[in-house]
Amino acid sequence: MSRTIWRRGIDDRCWGAPGVRSGHGHADPHIASANGCHLNSRLSYWGRSMSYFLPKRRKPGVLGLAVLGALAFAPLSVHASEAELKALINQLQQRLDAQDAKLQSQAAEIKQLHEQTDQMAALQGKPASAAAAPAQMASANPVPAGVSMNSTIPANSPAASATANAAVATASPAPAMTRANSDTSFGGYGELNYNNYVHDGSRTQADLRRFVLLLNHQFSDRLSFNSEMEWEHAVTSASDQGESEIEQAFLNYQIASGVNLKAGLFLMPFGFINQSHEPPMFYGVERNEVETRIIPSTWREGGIGLWGSTKSGFAWDVGVTTGFDVAKFDDPSAPLHAIHQELQLAKAHDLSVYGALNYQGIPGWTVGGGVFTGNSTHDNADYKANADGPDLSGIKGRVTLWDVHTRWQGHGWDLQALYTRGTIGEAAKIDASIQAFNNATQSTRPYVPGAFYGWLMQAAYTVWEHGNMTLTPFVRYERYNTQAHMPEGFAADPANADHVATMGLTFSPYPQVVCKADYQKYQDNHKNDRFNLGLGYMF
């Protein structure tokens, strides 16, 4: 049957029926409706309209058949009332609205996934199309601005579910980064601590310990910029103890897969905390003593380095950087903290070299170490610039620091062990110069140790987990001595050596937020016994 005949068949049943035309020879819709033909008129109109979708002198196309099929099987009775038709239309509209809402929800989920992949791409120094999101860090490609080359987010720590299989690298473990656009990302972390000294209430204090912002930029698939800005103790002024500082600012270039070049101010790859010091990344309210007094966390230098990883599970980092300035020594309780320069008008006559190697080829296990060495008198630069200090001419004062460490994570456990030792060469000559200066000026400058060391063991276990929330108790025992060897004739201060036991609890309401509580017992210096509370976050 042709399209014309089909249309006429419908017309004849209504428009051509007796008594349904107006006096003007046109169909009266009111009469048609009364005769049950108003709906037929609509079907006739739809039929005529749909006929234009069918190619002339051809069999109906797929679209036309689909439309006709829909009309044929639609629950529309030619005798249905207009109210029923409206109800059906409303029902179909509701279904469409529901589908639209579902599509919007799916689109939002897809957008969120893209943002997560962009965040991890920023950490890995790859374009925004790279990938990932939080869990346990432990393998391959290093991460500029981000993840420690020898430490991983504890699988059972608060941050575990906040950092996915990202690889070990250089710089500092980076919090999840938010992309301001396709090329620039930012993040941050902070901590608020309360310390209650058991034997001396006058020392009890609360402190906004750190507030840190990260800013990274991806110039290309291979070249990126990474930075970290930090404020300590809430207020920075001449009369306050607060500090503001640039902790990292370096460029990273991916030479090849698993090989990167970095240049600028970056973190040294030593211990666990120096590169992974965001509050959700370590146990305890305060950073452990060994990685504060012996390894001068947060320790950074200016220089150039090569770093990367292999498919067999090795991660490596080597470079040439600025070093220490022994002429600035003023604190025997933390020898290297007193003399590391932080790239603030750093003396650079004597450069240093470093190297670190870690093996992570066995899931959950990391073992490795590093070494840093370089002279520290810089051709007696401080004395030549200002004679108000000891004369160190003819002295090299080589500073060397090394560490070995291991960590195992699995089945809810997180076990760590670390040993580190440092030396200052020609300490006897340096102290003789300091002594001569003190005698001549009636000063009391402290004397340099020849050696210092520290070690720790730590165990944590997640006892409760519900959704994103975790509860993890831990214990730690550490030993340090910042004056392990003093030159003959120079005495060590007993206050600079101790055994410390720490017991604590970490509650994480969300992977990147932690609430901490612990108690620290100092075996040799009881006055330092304290109860600590802390809040921390990273984003």
Distance separating alpha carbons of residues 137 and 168, to the nearest angstrom: 7
* φ, ψ dihedrals at 30, nearest 5°: -65, -45
Domain identity same for 188 and 294: yes
Tens of pLDDT, residues 40-76: 443 343 344 444 444 444 444 544 444 444 444 444 4
In this structure, is residue 319 part of a structural domain?
A: yes
Domain identity same for 398 and 501: yes
pLDDT at 331 over 70: yes
From residue 479, alpha-carbon distances to 288, 496, 497 in Å are: 10, 11, 8
The domain boundary, picked from 26, 59, 80, lies at: 80
Domain identity same for 28 and 132: no
Whether residue 298 is preceded by a cis peptide bond, meaning omega within 30 degrees of 0, is yes
Region 486-510: mean pLDDT is: 97
Give ∠ CA 354-170-365 in degrees, rounded to 5: 95
The pLDDT of residue 119 = 58
Region 497-513: mean pLDDT is: 98
Region 344-363: mean pLDDT is: 97
Domain identity same for 286 and 333: yes
- pLDDT above 70 covers what percent of the chain? 72
- pLDDT above 90 covers what percent of the chain? 64
Distance separating alpha carbons of residues 140 and 122, to the nearest angstrom: 16
Domain identity same for 269 and 202: yes
Q: How many domains does the chain have?
A: 2
Domain identity same for 194 and 343: yes
In this structure, is residue 19 part of a structural domain?
A: yes
The pLDDT of residue 388 = 87
pLDDT at 417 over 50: yes
In this structure, is residue 287 part of a structural domain?
A: yes
In this structure, is residue 24 part of a structural domain?
A: yes
In this structure, is residue 103 part of a structural domain?
A: no
Please name every residue paired with 415 in a beta bridge, in sequence order, or none if there are none: 408, 459
Domain identity same for 59 and 175: no
pLDDT at 527 over 70: yes
Domain identity same for 235 and 368: yes
The domain boundary, picked from 26, 57, 80, lies at: 80
Average model confidence (pLDDT) for the chain? 81
Domain identity same for 141 and 224: yes
In this structure, is residue 343 part of a structural domain?
A: yes
Domain enclosing residue 58, as ranges: 3-80
In this structure, is residue 398 part of a structural domain?
A: yes
Q: What CATH number should be reported for the domain holding residue 351? A: 2.40.160.10
The domain boundary, picked from 34, 65, 80, lies at: 80
Band of the pLDDT at 35, cuts 50, 70, 90?
very low
Q: How far is CA 247 from the centre of its chain?
A: 15
Name the token pair of 341.
């320069």
Q: What is the pTM of this model?
A: 0.70
Is 163 in contact with 134 (CB distance < 8 Å)? Answer: yes
Domain identity same for 11 and 149: no
Position 244: which residue type?
S
In this structure, is residue 106 part of a structural domain?
A: no
Position 237: which residue type?
S
CA proximity to 13, closest of 52, 39, 40: 40
Rama region for 365: left / alpha / beta (φ>0; ψ in -120 to 50; rest): beta
Domain identity same for 68 and 141: no
From residue 102, alpha-carbon distances to 96, 106, 444 in Å are: 10, 6, 74
Domain identity same for 122 and 53: no
Cβ-proximal residues to 58 (8 Å cutoff; 6+ apart), any chain: none
Is 399 in contact with 377 (CB distance < 8 Å)? Answer: no
Is 145 in contact with 174 (CB distance < 8 Å)? Answer: yes
Q: What is the DSSP string of 377-436?
A: SGGGHHHHH-SSS---TT----EEEEEEEEEEEETTEEEEEEEEEEEETTHHHHHHHHHH
